[in-house]
Structure 1
Amino acid sequence: MAPISAIEHIANPLVTSKQLINLKNSEDDNGQSVRFAQAQLTSAAGILLRLSQEVIAQAIVLLQRFSVSSRPQDRDAFKPKTLSAASIYLAAKLSATPVSPRSVVNVYAYLTSKASPLQFINPHGVRTNPDPQDYFVTEGTYERERQRLFVCESVVLAGIGFDTRVALPYSLALTYIQALGVSSTELARRVIEHLNAGLLSPQLLYLSHQPNALAVAAIYLAAREIGVKLVEQNWWEVFDVDREDLGFLVLAYGSLANFAEAELKKWKATALSLG
């Protein structure tokens, strides 16, 4: 097997415009909303499973890759909840903190129940004393869900061509901040917030742009938001990011709050089901 080159550690295969068009054409009217909710569900599951943000981010990226590269019949064969569960299970298995199938099944039963804190599941909030029976998993249900999880995991792996490597922008962003000579905990915190939010973007930013561009755009926007002055001239070019990509990503990061608010209004009218 050929060794992995250094560039492959900080770069990802990018989605093509044809793949994005095919995905859009194969989805129904709620496709974008489902992907947005799936990413939130995956993130919430990762938090409850006590996984690191890097593992959660890898799971979301793998799920998005599957959505883009798989056949419609493969995506439709499983409920969105199951695809999310398989992705978080797979990402955790590849990390230093694997989780058991039982833990995954229990967490997803809770997050998709009447006790769930997720707004697209319970848009009007959770009642004061939710009934534990709402998310109790019987042994029979667990066995069925466990088998479904394993089958879905294998389908996800086949759909992404068994390429599970994901380069993330977090460490790059912190390195770039240091290289720019900026010492600001608030800036670093805001940058991480934008990078986390970018995982939820309907524009699939982590598939369409390399980690260095994601990191630079997050730094640019965060610095402008909190009033941190960066070096003069086109500093982003030092990190191999052109003005066009920078502008697109800054707008994408900045527009996500409005998109999320619009989605919440839709959910309040009709709760979204992920199975």
Structure 2
Amino acid sequence: MAPTNPGLKHLSNALATPDQLSNSSSAIDGVPSDLETSIRCAGAQLTQAAGVLLRLSQDIIAQAIVIFARFWLGADGGSLRIYSAKDVSAASLYLTAKLSFQPTSPRSVLNVYTFLLSKESSPLWFVNPRGAPAQPPAAESYILSEGGYQSARLVLFRIESIILRTLGFDTHVALPHTIALTYLQTLGATRPAVARRVIEHLNAALLSPQLLYITHQPNALAVAAIYLATREEGVKLVDGEWWEVFDVDREELGFLVVGMRSTEGFVRAETERWRNKAIPMVVDEVEAEIERRRMMQEGE
């Protein structure tokens, strides 16, 4: 990760380097880039859903999604052929919550993930393509047994330690949400509808295939979300290139605006692409999908 300015440590993040973005461990291990992108996006959505069920605050959930994304970066990051995305998601959320004012127990985390990953009970489209069941499912399909809990707990702790080592124990994540609200006040754009739209754009950007949260600083993300929200709500800001006041140039703003606008279309396309099958969230499923593609390519 690229270093940050020590004086702005709490307002900025270490960003991914070009080499980390172009050479992931998964790619080196032969995972197709589109499959890796799909799994990363599904993992972010899984983390979001689990955080909501655990009643964690959105800032904790967002930090966990960023930690999850960082883990797969570069040749030294995790590979989807070695680590299951579901385990990394659970450990990222557990770790982030543990370091916050809202720690949650391993049992609570694992119970929630067991439910969300149940092929019969899950409401998540990328786990259960048939959709949430109309009738309450059998409890056995989503309740973790005591033996299953003890085994999953060991995996949770092991993956947590692997994440920490992979990230060099740097778990700092600065988020753009509070910065954006401060910028709105500075610009005099205090309408609740605008603030709500800004937050929606920032939360949606966590699912961006361009990995916007690990390629751009929080101030730039905040400015881009404000630019989009004020235009959508018909709110005129000050004349001139106001974004430069917040240390964002036109080129970076343009890239982020396009990236944020495209996220909804990307998720919609993913939903259509995987409509009839689940996105692989464990190593064995990733291997099966890679083999399926190989056989199709060879016409077997």
TM range (shorter): over 0.9
**Structure 1 residue 122: Cα displacement:** 1.7
Shift in Å at residue 63 of structure 1? 1.0
Percent identity, aligned pairs only? Answer: 54
Give runs of aligned pairs for residues 103-122 of structure 1, distance below 5 A: 103-113=108-118, 114-122=120-128
Paired residues of 2:71 and 2:77 also in contact (CA < 8 A): no
Instruction: Trace 1:76-91 onto structure 2 (pairs within 5 A).
Output: 76-91=81-96
**146, 149, 158: which one aligns with 1:151:** 158
Q: What aligned pairs does 1:165-180 form with structure 2 within 5 A after superposition? A: 165-180=172-187
Q: Deviations over 1:151-204 (max 9, x none)?
A: 000000001110011111011000000000112100000000000011111111
Q: Deviations over 1:220-258 (max 9, x none)?
A: 011111111111110000000000010000000001111
CA distance in structure 1 between the aligned counterparts of 2:117 and 2:7, rounded to whole angstroms? 41
Equivalent in 48, 55, 58 of residue 53 of structure 2: 48
Confirm or deny that 1:128 pairs with 2:134. Answer: yes
> For residues 82-120 of structure 1, what are the alpha-carbon distances to aligned partners after superposition, in whole Å with 9 as ceiling and x for unaligned?
000000000001101101000011000000112111111
One-letter code aligned to 1:120: F
Structural RMSD (CA): 1.5
Matched, 1:272 2:259: no
Indicate the residue corresponding to 1:19 in structure 2.
20
TM-score (norm 1): 0.95
1:117-266 to structure 2, matched below 5 A, reads 117-129=123-135, 130-266=137-273
The structural deviation recorded for 1:5 is 4.5
Counterpart pick for 1:67 among 55, 67, 72: 72
Number of residue pairs matched?
Answer: 272
1:266, distance to aligned residue in structure 2 (A): 1.5
Q: Kindly provide the amino acid, as one letter, of the partner of residue 140 in structure 1.
A: G
What are the superposed Cα offsets for residues 101-152 of structure 1, whole Å, 9 maximum, x if unpaired? Answer: 0001100000011211111112231121122211111111000000000000
Maintained 8 Å contact 1:49/1:104: yes
2:14 equivalent to 1:9: no
Q: Distance in 2 between matches of 1:191 and 1:272?
A: 29
Contact 1:69 1:159 (C-alpha < 8 Å) held by counterparts:
no
Distance in 1 (CA, whole Å) between partners of 2:108 and 2:78 is: 28
Asked if the contact 1:62–1:164 (Cα under 8 Å) also holds between the matched residues in 2, the reply is yes
Structure 1 residues 164 and 183: alpha-carbon distance in aligned structure 2, compared to 1, 3 A threshold: same
**Partner of residue 40, structure 2:** 35
2:18 partner amino acid: S
Gaps of 5+ in 1: none
Kept in 1: contact 2:77–2:166 (CA 8 A): no
Q: Which runs of 5+ in 2 are unaligned?
A: 283-300
For 1:101, the aligned partner's letter is P
Q: Which segment is superposed worse, 22-31 or 131-140?
A: 22-31
| Separation in structure 2 between the aligned mates of residue 12 and residue 183 of structure 1, nearest angstrom | 27
Indicate if the aligned counterparts of 1:46 and 1:88 stay in contact, CA closer than 8 A.
yes
Indicate conservation of the 8 Å contact 1:217/1:249, yes or no: yes
Question: Any runs of at least 4 consecutive aligned residues in structure 1 with deviations exceeding 6 A, and if so which?
Answer: none
The answer to whether the Cα contact below 8 Å between 2:13 and 2:173 also exists between their aligned partners in 1 is yes
Deviation at 1:73, TM superposition (A): 6.1
